[in-house]
A and B are shown apart, each in its own frame.
Chain A
């Protein structure tokens, strides 16, 4: 049994993949708590799709895909924040407009590429293809995002449940929302390497949503979500190694199974409390 468990990690690409998945999982689940509680689930999906033109432009220009994705993600985050500032346009409307425009631009640019298969790892992720240099970039972004969340915890928390009071004490809820969008854009870019554009929102939303069913304390929700994300990554990697299935999809489906289990626990608890 021990041999069965250890065997995949004799390969360095599996070790790198696991480290990347763990870093991305912890970052996504922690940030995902705000995404779920602020009802921003749509935005993770949208941001993941909007980095597509940045990736394609970088691919066509022979530049760093990572850099292209970050630029496109940040531009979208700033664009959403700017268009929806002061409530002139609702945030979900701003996301809907920019998300489709950026994704359409990405598809248009992709049609200029010889083969769509060249970019398939962007759409579906390739965790086993993460290189040590990619891992360093992922680690740097994860550290930056987690440090920011820790340092600004009280401000992010307050603006999430009472933006009016925050504004009265001089704390701009709009600026905190913009900061959150920027952190999301950075996190999404790292996430794309693990599960790809199409499944990124699952890592942002599903572990945090499962944790929200199990606890009603924000720090605990972040911790439980991170454990679910890391555990799911591990299971996904094993599935990929032994069953030869797509690792990104396996990770997401494991997260979904955890959500199902959390939902069952929540339902049983609620029924017991009602008795």
Chain B
């Protein structure tokens, strides 16, 4: 028996629908004089990797949070595989910025990553052997096997980021919302994370990635969206991808 967390029933995606559609999306914070996002229109086909770039405060994180269901739109609509936010929690994985986690909480790396399976388990069901096997595979992929039983408070910034990415991967979602996955990480973690992001394309996963790293956009992404003061200014394919092959 599956008792999902959300009061909405999990519904299968509409066939042929884009992974994400934003139509006139406007989002604001209580007490703010202007919306953080203003009338954003965006359509992301399934299997595409999109970079969200822009200065601090331009609305990148706000956009990801709205799609993740953490912020309610003031206007406009969000459709994920043709469905409203919350209708398919298991298909959307969110990698928050590291500051949103209480890293002093007594939980191990493996246990935190296992939480990525909870959306599939719902109420009352405990993780089983299959869930633990998936966790072990992802820990291997992200070079975290030796840290599996380590307390999360004992991780470096890069290891913390890999742990959060592992949790997002173990969820086996189709749409990944990654907020600054390469921010303030060491060279090893950056290499591993970049490799994993590259692998997402081969698996046909869709990724929306807020990033400050502009040096390898054309190699790592299929499309680049620039936000300026909450307004989506441009959405284009990186130059390298536009050139005939």
Residues of A within 8 A of B (CB): 37, 151-152, 154-155, 157-158, 160-162, 164-165, 167-172, 212, 215-218, 221
Structural contact, B115 and A218, CB atoms closer than 8 A: no
Structural contact, A37 and B105, CB atoms closer than 8 A: yes
A145 to chain B, nearest CB (A): 17
Residues of B within 8 A of A (CB): 4-6, 8, 68-70, 86, 89-90, 92-94, 96, 100-103, 105-108, 111-112, 115, 118-119, 121, 123-124, 126-127, 151, 153, 167, 171
A260 to chain B, nearest CB (A): 21
A-B Cβ contacts below 8 A, count: 77
Structural contact, A165 and B106, CB atoms closer than 8 A: no
CA distance A217 to B106 in the complex (A): 5
B87 to chain A, nearest CB (A): 10
Structural contact, A212 and B106, CB atoms closer than 8 A: yes
Cβ contacts under 8 Å, A172 to chain B: 5
CA distance A155 to B100 in the complex (A): 17
CA distance A162 to B181 in the complex (A): 17
8 Å CB contact of B124 from A151, A170, A218: A151
Given A154-B118, A158-B115, A158-B118, decide whether A168 and B94 contact each other with a Cβ distance below 8 A: yes
CA distance A168 to B167 in the complex (A): 13
B107 to chain A, nearest CB (A): 6
8 Å CB contact of B68 from A154, A168, A212, A217: A168
CA distance A167 to B72 in the complex (A): 13
Other than the given A157-B107, A167-B69, 5 more pairs (CB < 8 A) read A37-B105, A155-B123, A162-B115, A164-B100, A217-B106
Cβ contacts under 8 Å, A165 to chain B: 94, 96, 100-101, 115, 167
Structural contact, B119 and A154, CB atoms closer than 8 A: no
**Between-chain CB contacts (< 8 Å), 17 pairs:** A37-B105, A151-B124, A154-B115, A157-B111, A161-B101, A161-B102, A161-B107, A162-B96, A162-B101, A162-B115, A165-B96, A165-B115, A168-B92, A168-B93, A168-B94, A169-B5, A169-B90
Structural contact, A216 and B96, CB atoms closer than 8 A: no
Structural contact, B118 and A169, CB atoms closer than 8 A: yes
CA distance A165 to B5 in the complex (A): 13
CA distance A37 to B153 in the complex (A): 13
CA distance A155 to B122 in the complex (A): 9
Structural contact, B102 and A169, CB atoms closer than 8 A: no
Ranked nearest first, the 5 interchain pairs of A and B with the lowest CB-CB distance are A170-B6, A161-B105, A170-B5, A169-B119, A171-B5
8 Å CB contact of B89 from A151, A154, A158, A169: A169
Given A162-B115, A218-B107, decide whether A168 and B102 contact each other with a Cβ distance below 8 A: no
A274 to chain B, nearest CB (A): 14
A35 to chain B, nearest CB (A): 14
A177 to chain B, nearest CB (A): 14
List the B residue with the shortest CB-CB distance to A86: B30
CA distance A34 to B60 in the complex (A): 34
Cβ contacts under 8 Å, A170 to chain B: 4-6, 8, 69, 86, 89, 119
Given A154-B115, A167-B70, A168-B94, decide whether A162 and B102 contact each other with a Cβ distance below 8 A: yes
Structural contact, A37 and B89, CB atoms closer than 8 A: no
8 Å CB contact of A221 from B103, B106, B115: B106
CA distance A172 to B90 in the complex (A): 15
Given A154-B115, A169-B5, A169-B119, decide whether A164 and B70 contact each other with a Cβ distance below 8 A: yes
Structural contact, B105 and A160, CB atoms closer than 8 A: yes
Cβ contacts under 8 Å, A162 to chain B: 96, 100-102, 112, 115
List the B residue with the shortest CB-CB distance to A157: B107
Cβ contacts under 8 Å, B93 to chain A: 168
Cβ contacts under 8 Å, B112 to chain A: 161-162
CA distance A222 to B119 in the complex (A): 26
Cβ contacts under 8 Å, B102 to chain A: 160-162
Cβ contacts under 8 Å, A221 to chain B: 106
Cβ contacts under 8 Å, A155 to chain B: 5, 118, 123
B10 to chain A, nearest CB (A): 9
Cβ contacts under 8 Å, B69 to chain A: 167-168, 170
Structural contact, A168 and B124, CB atoms closer than 8 A: no
Cβ contacts under 8 Å, B4 to chain A: 170
List the B residue with the shortest CB-CB distance to A161: B105
CA distance A145 to B126 in the complex (A): 19
B161 to chain A, nearest CB (A): 14
B18 to chain A, nearest CB (A): 20
Structural contact, B96 and A164, CB atoms closer than 8 A: yes
CA distance A258 to B35 in the complex (A): 53
List the B residue with the shortest CB-CB distance to A167: B70
List the B residue with the shortest CB-CB distance to A221: B106
